[in-house]
């Protein structure tokens, strides 16, 4: 019988076809009208799990999008258990945003598949699922396997926290593999041992009861759009630091030793910055390298602002209302609740008596940052798995994005958490023309297979 790696190589074309099927489903969790599509994607996954031999079910709770859970415990009570987490929901995408091809018609060119979710994160989900298929089809599975795929990661993960707490026993595993994140180069894998947390805010500024003629009242009514930009501009100083009092109080400093560890990323992240961003010059805290700014330092980002007249032509008004959405990326040991209070208080303190401000934060979306132990045996198994899958030793790094449930896994479950990304950072996650590099998808499957081997060996060695 074939080995699991051989099986995966023989099935390469089928695996890509299956990824394409899932990519055609617009499982956008941030838009309520797409809830049936999220459901359809969940069904696709549960059907495939059952087909390959897992016991699987969809978990639904009122008002939330489905979670898909499957398990195979055939390795026996003495064998180690691996829990894999991924998310199959996606961010919105519209061809009018500037996509070269329709975002939900996966298109193959130049060794890539272009589609919303190809990188973030259906490519990751399918790579893991197909690694499991390869193990079960060949009888090579030496670990028990649990798969948990979320349908609302992009919309705040509100439901999974409780699911993990309520199902602590069922989800118990020796290691939790979170398949997310990205590499600075197609050929250079990373071992991600930290993620930033996140907290999101919405804000409105109002002034006059309705729009006013700017000739009649310009000069004696404070324009809400202007007031909004004044407040937002006051949230950073000229060195790129957030000015909110207390914001940095709890930030865990980067030690000299960690700086050395992270230094392996310096050149990769500088090269990647220039290749990916297209921005004219770097920005941010001058005392920190680019990879430190995005991995180990907190931020406050304006995600959108709106207000006033923006149609064709001109309308000389003082608008009555202005809006902003912004978010903070958090690092250990900042507490989301504390930061929310500090930000909201400071915005009120900055608000002049000439306008009214409302600023809110949705608690269900907040998540703290995490730093994991990169010396744990599970992480070391992960390093060896990348060496087999990519042929290159991964560099240690902390990533700037957020996977909200990771902090809950680390708190509630006993196993080590490891992160295992297979995608390239320039692949357009949350943007236009998102893609997965097909070769990286296949290397991802081989890396996942190598990880099961390494993890089982670790366990038998420990006995």
What residue has token string 């692949």?
427
What residue has token string 């930290």?
194
Stretch that binds Zn ion, among 113-121, 225-233, 335-343, 386-394 (CB under 5 A): 113-121
Report the distance separating Cα 332 and Cα 371, nearest Å: 7
**x/- site string to ligand BES, residues 347 to 366, per CB under 6 A?**
------------------x-
In terms of CB distance, is 37 or 154 closer to ligand BES?
A: 154
Among 272, 399, 434, 453, binds ligand BES (CB under 6 A): 399
120 binds Zn ion, rule: CB under 5 A: yes
Contacts with Zn ion by CB under 5 A: the residue count is: 1
The two structure tokens encoding residue 342: 């500090």
Q: Are 82 and 73 within 8 A, CB to CB?
A: no
Smallest separation, CB 160 to ligand BES (Å): 12
Pairing of strands 197-206, 321-330: antiparallel
In terms of CB distance, is 272 or 365 closer to ligand BES?
A: 365
Tell me which residue of 121, 128, 117 sits closest to 23, measured CA to CA. 117
417 binds ligand BES, rule: CB under 6 A: no
In terms of CB distance, is 131 or 406 closer to ligand BES?
A: 406
Report the distance separating Cα 424 and Cα 444, nearest Å: 12
Contacts with ligand BES by CB under 6 A: the residue count is: 16
Smallest separation, CB 148 to ligand BES (Å): 15
Report the distance separating Cα 188 and Cα 183, nearest Å: 7
181 binds ligand BES, rule: CB under 6 A: yes
What residue has token string 């500090």?
342
Using alpha carbons, list the distances in angstroms from residue 191 to 97, 177, 406: 33, 12, 15
Smallest separation, CB 404 to ligand BES (Å): 5
Among 48, 120, 140, 434, binds ligand BES (CB under 6 A): 120
The three-state secondary structure class of 257 is helix
Pairing of strands 299-307, 423-424: unpaired
Q: Are 413 and 83 within 8 A, CB to CB?
A: yes
Rg for the chain, CA atoms, rounded: 23
What part of residues 183-202 is at the interface with ligand BES (CB under 6 A)?
A: 195, 198
Residue nearest to ligand BES (CB): 401
Q: Which does 182 bind (CB under 5 to 8 A by kind): Zn ion, ligand BES, none?
A: ligand BES
What part of residues 146-175 is at the interface with ligand BES (CB under 6 A)?
A: 153-154, 156
Which residues of this protein are in contact with ligand BES, per CB under 6 A? 120-121, 153-154, 156, 180-182, 195, 198, 365, 399, 401-404
């Amino acid at each position: 019988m074939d080995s699991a790696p051989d099986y995966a190589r023989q099935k390469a074309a089928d695996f890509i076809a299956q990824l394409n099927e899932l990519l055609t489903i617009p499982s956008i969790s941030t838009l309520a009208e797409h809830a049936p599509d999220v459901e359809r994607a969940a069904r696709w996954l549960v059907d495939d799990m059952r087909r390959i031999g897992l016991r699987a079910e969809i978990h639904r709770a009122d008002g939330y999008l489905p979670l898909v859970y499957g398990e195979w415990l055939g390795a026996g009570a003495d064998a180690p258990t691996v829990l894999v987490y991924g998310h199959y929901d996606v961010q919105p995408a519209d061809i009018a945003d500037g996509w070269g091809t329709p975002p939900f018609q996966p298109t193959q060119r130049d060794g890539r598949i272009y589609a919303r979710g190809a990188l973030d994160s259906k490519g990751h989900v399918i790579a893991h699922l197909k690694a499991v298929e390869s193990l079960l089809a060949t009888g090579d599975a030496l670990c028990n396997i649990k798969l948990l795929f979320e349908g609302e990661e992009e919309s705040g993960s509100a439901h999974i926290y409780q699911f993990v707490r309520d199902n602590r026993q069922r989800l118990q595993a020796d290691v939790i593999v979170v398949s997310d994140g990205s590499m600075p180069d197609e050929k250079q894998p990373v071992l991600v041992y930290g993620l930033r947390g996140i907290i999101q805010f919405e804000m409105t500024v109002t002034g006059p009861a309705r729009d006013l003629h700017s000739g009649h009242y310009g000069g004696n009514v404070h324009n809400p759009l202007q007031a909004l930009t004044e407040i937002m501009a006051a949230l950073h100083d000229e060195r790129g630091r957030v000015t909110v009092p207390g914001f940095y109080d709890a930030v865990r400093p980067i030690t000299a030793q960690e700086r050395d560890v992270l230094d392996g990323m310096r050149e990769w992240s500088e090269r990647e910055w220039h290749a990916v961003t297209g921005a004219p010059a770097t920005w941010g805290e001058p005392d920190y390298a680019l990879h430190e700014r995005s991995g180990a330092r907190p931020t406050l980002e304006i995600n959108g602002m709106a207000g006033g007249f923006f149609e064709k032509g001109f309308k000389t008004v003082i608008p009555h209302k202005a809006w902003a959405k912004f978010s903070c990326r958090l690092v250990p040991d900042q507490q989301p609740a504390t930061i929310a209070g500090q930000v909201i208080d400071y915005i009120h303190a900055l608000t002049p008596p000439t306008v009214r401000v409302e600023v809110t934060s949705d608690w269900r979306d907040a998540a703290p940052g995490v730093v994991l132990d990169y010396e744990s045996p599970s992480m070391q198994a992960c390093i060896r798995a990348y060496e087999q899958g990519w042929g290159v030793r991964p560099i240690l790094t902390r990533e700037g994005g957020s996977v909200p449930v990771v902090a809950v896994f680390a708190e509630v479950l006993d196993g080590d958490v490891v992160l295992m990304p297979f995608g390239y950072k320039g692949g357009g996650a949350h943007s236009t023309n998102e893609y997965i590099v097909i070769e990286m998808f296949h290397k991802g499957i081989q890396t996942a297979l190598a990880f099961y081997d390494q993890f089982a060996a670790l366990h038998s060695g420990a006995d």
